[in-house]
Structure 1
């Protein structure tokens, strides 16, 4: 199954026909841009009739050409800044996928199982990695708690009890995109909820986040296998490096969300944009009202649309059509996890015919598996 379904084509299929993107509404900024465009067009109609009745009020179009050049530079910088955040988010999530896959594979292959507890802890650590990726998705969307269906079969009962006994954590607002076309999102069982919004420059404070708590669990597992001589020294060091890289990637996502576009720049851009559109009808052909209306509409739609696109893509972790498909990225990690849970690891103990999955517990019947070369095992803190 292909998870990353980004389509570079400029066509979309609907009703058995192939439609170009120019005729596509879903995913566009039409619904966001329509109210201000309609207002500016109506304003242009009024000014067109005024100039037709009083031609002496018209201004030179040359002045507008100079202003449009400056405005274009502002819009280009705004769009590039927003897309940089979108593209950085995509790169971070690709690194997160690769690091998680590598960590699952490394634990599955290199960690030995000498007892039932070792087997249980190893398989739970694999599930914790997938749960970590899913928790990052919810964390970036501002969704606290463990009640989401994609945690089912991943988190241990002990961890859930531990989490529930901590102080209650409120939902601090999801972060889809800045536009107004966020669809209602399905929870998978027929229930729907509307994504909340928070201001730009979000910064989480208070209780330790769920991704960080799961990183603590992975670190504890790493120390357990090191203390019990279940992993080679070089593999143990690599394991710690991988866990630290996951924490770094979460911090990179937080940097995108907690760094707003400078307020002064946004205010000045909007001042320049709407001042330009307010002055534009005074410089158009006052002899033809329909021509003035059409030009005002087209220019307003193009420039306001560019600004709306920038607001749509600057926070790429939500539910909008223009956001990253985080659910698909998490699904790719679950595929990796299912492979590990449904195949016997090289250094695993023997289990019954029913293999472990994300729903079935492990039943150990015999201890076995590989052993490390003499002198190659990691030593404990005391050097034993």
Structure 2
């Protein structure tokens, strides 16, 4: 039953079974009010088109949401790696520069977490998985997160949500929709950091600067795209029409099946309703892929993965290429030659090229 829409179908199926039983009893003992089954074919075509449209539309939204989050994960780890490796650490200010780079990477992780909460319409100025845990100030915290599955990220003191705090505690604690725009604030802080490292010449190369700023712009595009999915559901007129067409078809089934099936009309109607309503409810279930249901995208897991990737990037200093390319235990020409880098280096260039040719497997 986990992840199934069957619990949502119990009451509708009971209603269909009761309706089919009543029509069968009337046709059997009182008066035969059955119809020609040709209507079943005509309406079935319309219902099939309606459910196909609803399901394909819902899955397109689900699939687009997954693509955007995959893009967010790739962009975040790429930007963290770019800053961690290519931003220089000034002599005499190494500790400050390292901590600043870590803070920048923390903001990238926090962006994904804040975007998750924004997409779930959780009123906020802070969350357990963004700010360090501790007793919240009423003027600072609107409401804690529902899940809290993601590990906390140290962002205290960045001034996020300060504009809301000046509005007073009551407006934050009674909010029924997201307040402010924490993901956008975090991107603004990231842009400010990139500007600073460009100005102090620790990030001097123009291609790297362009790549960093373009990635921040891409993160903003991802935020806009995910918000577009959430704020653009299937138009209400379509939802109402599809629901009405589906239920008219189901309620007419007993009239069209009785002459052929007799008392078997009851289980036949319930089975048909199970298929039709199941497809309709699945489309409704995945229409918003960013909620915290079992059939929605596992955003908590995605945020944890982004956090782990960034922590791996920052877990060691940016490596000098010579430190891993020219290791003695680096068997560069394996399997043609088992020696290490310095052993192979003593050979002539012609010998090295012959060894490279031997590595080709016919």
TM-score, normalising length from structure 2? Answer: 0.76
Counterpart among 168, 182, 206 of residue 210 in structure 1: 182
Q: Give, in whole Å, the separation in 2 of the partners of 1:75 and 1:154.
A: 43
- Does the CA contact (< 8 Å) of 2:130 and 2:155 recur in 1? no
- Does the CA contact (< 8 Å) of 1:142 and 1:171 recur in 2? no
Q: Give, in whole Å, the separation in 2 of the partners of 1:62 and 1:326.
A: 47
Q: CA RMSD in A?
A: 2.1
Size of the aligned set, in residue pairs, is 292
Q: 1:345 to 1:165 in 2, by over 3 A?
A: farther
Matched, 1:140 2:119: yes
- Does the CA contact (< 8 Å) of 2:131 and 2:155 recur in 1? no
Cα offset for 1:279?
A: 1.3
Cα offset for 1:162?
A: 5.9
- Does the CA contact (< 8 Å) of 1:124 and 1:154 recur in 2? no
Q: Give, in whole Å, the separation in 2 of the partners of 1:345 and 1:171.
A: 46
Which residue matches 2:100?
Answer: 121
Counterpart among 167, 174, 196 of residue 224 in structure 1: 196
Q: Give, in whole Å, the separation in 1 of the partners of 2:19 and 2:70.
A: 46
Q: 1:287 to 1:133 in 2, by over 3 A?
A: closer
Which residue matches 2:314?
Answer: 341
Q: Counterpart of 1:145 in 2: which secondary structure?
A: coil
The answer to which of 80-89 and 336-345 deviates more is: 336-345
Cα offset for 1:113?
A: 1.7
- Does the CA contact (< 8 Å) of 1:45 and 1:293 recur in 2? yes
Q: Give, in whole Å, the separation in 2 of the partners of 1:154 and 1:287.
A: 66
- Does the CA contact (< 8 Å) of 2:113 and 2:303 recur in 1? yes
Q: 1:67 to 1:172 in 2, by over 3 A?
A: farther
Cα offset for 1:277?
A: 1.3
Which residue matches 1:370?
Answer: none
Which residue matches 1:76?
Answer: 52
Which residue matches 2:25?
Answer: 49
Q: Give, in whole Å, the separation in 2 of the partners of 1:318 and 1:162.
A: 23
Which residue matches 1:316?
Answer: 289
Cα offset for 1:74?
A: 0.7
Matched, 1:61 2:40: no
Which residue matches 1:101?
Answer: 77
- The within-5 A match list for 1:10-49 is 25-49=1-25
Q: Give, in whole Å, the separation in 2 of the partners of 1:155 and 1:301.
A: 49
Q: Which has the larger radius of gyration?
A: 2
- Does the CA contact (< 8 Å) of 1:82 and 1:313 recur in 2? yes
TM-score, normalising length from structure 1? Answer: 0.72
Structure 1 unaligned regions, length at least 5: 1-24, 175-203, 348-384
Cα offset for 1:43?
A: 0.7
Counterpart among 298, 303, 328 of residue 271 in structure 2: 298
Structure 2 unaligned regions, length at least 5: 133-151, 321-362
- Does the CA contact (< 8 Å) of 1:142 and 1:172 recur in 2? no
Which residue matches 1:165?
Answer: 165
Counterpart among 303, 327, 332 of residue 330 in structure 1: 303
Deviation per residue, 1:174-207 (Å, 9 max, x gap): 8xxxxxxxxxxxxxxxxxxxxxxxxxxxxx7xx5
Q: Counterpart of 2:186 in 1: which secondary structure?
A: helix
Q: Give, in whole Å, the separation in 1 of the partners of 2:156 and 2:32.
A: 79
Q: 1:171 to 1:94 in 2, by over 3 A?
A: farther
Which residue matches 1:4?
Answer: none
Cα offset for 1:53?
A: 2.3
Cα offset for 1:161?
A: 7.0
